[in-house]
Structure 1
């Protein structure tokens, strides 16, 4: 016999599974359609639930966008840890591999106003990590060099840079990774030279 506590745990587990299914449904639809303009009815149908259930979990579109952003950031294109700024070109090459596996979703992440908060949050986390690494590796660098180097490296290590090079320069994913890695090394070599 199921105790009240077990029943409560099962309901909580089912709520989490349903919420996850809704987010996955939304992400798959925006990727498939290459637009973030997806109706809640379509999300409900894809998730195998009702619109009312979707709204119970995500009362507003903003709530759904935020949950989708967290899912994409943690499950699809998350931040890859590095121990040195010199790791950055290799880390970016690995990130590009992730973008190339799901290019329509990556392009939407780069261009959609809906996902601006996702980009902003990701870039803030990356910026903080680059600051930590820069300060550890270049403690004697002046603030102007530090600001320029971190700004340049954080811009290069982005889905926005990948999208621009893919669309505007016609590079394939391998070429994007090589080009961005080369530019990152130029920045770091310039910092080395200036110190």
Structure 2
């Protein structure tokens, strides 16, 4: 009898833990979805709770404060971005395909973040994001960069950063209205020209 009650209690605690994790995930996803629709400063706890199908009190129980919630959402988004940008190093065409797919999914959101970088919390994300993009460029094109020992590596990396930046995607995709395939082809042409000239 005691053994059965212990098993039942462990099962109940496990189920409760899973339910809490699912609620936390719904809350974070609600913040991320809302941040794609409006400025972060405009997002209220009431909106987050409503979209997550829970109460403001539950949101605060999970994250403590609105700031704690936003910090956790930023950490989650950063982890998702790192995964989305994963590509085989040394394959420029694959790298451009991955980065354009990433921008198709998050480009408008990233541009919205960049427009808010005066906010210290957003600036804390955007600043490291720029460094991560440069590191991504160096990793993706390391083989091509190493094959040009006499070239100015920093200059080549600067040019590759510009050619693969979200603003390059915006100019082609949003401002020019090109489709994703044409955008990918133009960005690949830029990268190819930079690598050939280097």
Whether TM-score is above 0.5 comes out as yes
TM-score (normalised: structure 1): 0.74
Correspondence for 1:162 among 136, 159, 169: 169
Q: CA 1:140–1:161 in 2, change beyond 3 Å: closer, same or farther?
A: closer
Moved more, 5-14 or 180-189: 5-14
Shift of 1:180: 1.5
- List alignment gaps of at least 5 residues for structure 2: none
Matching of residue 11 in structure 1 with residue 16 in structure 2: yes
Q: Do structure 1's residue 146 and structure 2's residue 153 form an aligned pair? A: yes
Instruction: Write the mapping of 1:53-132 to structure 2, written as runs, cut at 5 A.
Output: 53-75=58-80, 78-84=84-90, 87-100=91-104, 104-105=108-109, 107-113=111-117, 115-132=122-139
Instruction: Tell me which of 160, 163, 185 is aligned to 1:178.
Output: 185
CA gap 1:58/1:151 in 2 versus in 1, 3 angstroms: farther
State the 1:188 CA deviation. Answer: 0.9
How much is the aligned-residue C-alpha RMSD, in angstroms?
Answer: 3.2
Q: Matches of 2:92 and 2:66 in 1, distance apart?
A: 35
Using CA pairs below 8 Å that are at least 6 residues apart, which structure has the higher relative contact order? 1
Which protein has the larger Cα radius of gyration, Structure 1 or Structure 2? 2
Residues 53 and 88 from structure 1, CA distance in 2 versus in 1: closer, same or farther, beyond 3 angstroms?
A: farther
Distance in 1 of aligned mates of 2:165 and 2:94: 14
> Which residue does 1:40 correspond to in 2?
45
TM-superposed CA distance for 1:21, in Å, is 0.3
In 2, Cα distance between equivalents of 1:55 and 1:41: 11
- Give 5+ residue unaligned stretches, structure 1: none
C-alpha distance in structure 2 between counterparts of 1:159 and 1:19, whole Å? 30
Distance in 2 separating the partners of 1:9 and 1:180:
49
Aligned to 2:26: 21
Tell me how far 1:18 sits from its aligned partner.
1.3
Count the aligned residue pairs.
Answer: 187
**TM-score, length basis structure 2:** 0.73
CA contact (8 A) 2:92 2:140 kept: no
2:167 match: secondary structure:
helix
Residues 1:146 and 1:170: Cα distance change in structure 2 (over 3 Å): same
Native 8 Å contact 2:32 2:73 kept in 1: yes
